[in-house]
């Protein structure tokens, strides 16, 4: 039993260390350009405390353009994905989905 507990502690430490390394490399904020409504400056650091990376980055912590995995025909439009994912989560968490909450001119 003691060996199992020790193993669980070691695994938790290794996983925690790996996640901390990923978090340290992640940007604090990300700015998405939006021509019509104004840019969205996304507080990435705060959102990392609210959800697992896979919630937004469906393949895990890797970031980048959708076209990095999808070809030009199957890549979803970023605007469509951001609006769906962000608005769904904001509704669930009771945060306003008013455009001006995120879009700033």
Per residue in 43-80, pLDDT tens? 999 999 988 888 888 766 566 667 777 776 777 888 89
Tokens (6 digits) for 4: 């199992």
pTM score of the predicted model: 0.63
User: What is d(CA 68, CA 78) in angstroms, rounded to the nearest whole number?
Assistant: 13
User: What is d(CA 39, CA 5) in angstroms, rounded to the nearest whole number?
Assistant: 49
């Amino acid at each position: 039993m003691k060996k199992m507990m020790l193993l669980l502690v070691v695994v938790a430490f290794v996983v925690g260390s790996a996640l901390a390394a990923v978090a340290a490399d992640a940007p604090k904020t990300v700015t998405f350009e939006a021509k019509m409504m104004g840019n969205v400056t996304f507080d990435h650091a705060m959102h990392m405390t609210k959800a697992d990376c896979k919630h937004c980055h469906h393949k895990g912590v890797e970031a980048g353009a959708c076209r990095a995995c999808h070809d030009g025909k199957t890549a979803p439009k970023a605007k469509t994905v951001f609006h769906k994912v962000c608005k769904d989560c904001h509704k669930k968490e009771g945060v306003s989905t008013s455009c001006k909450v995120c879009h700033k001119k």
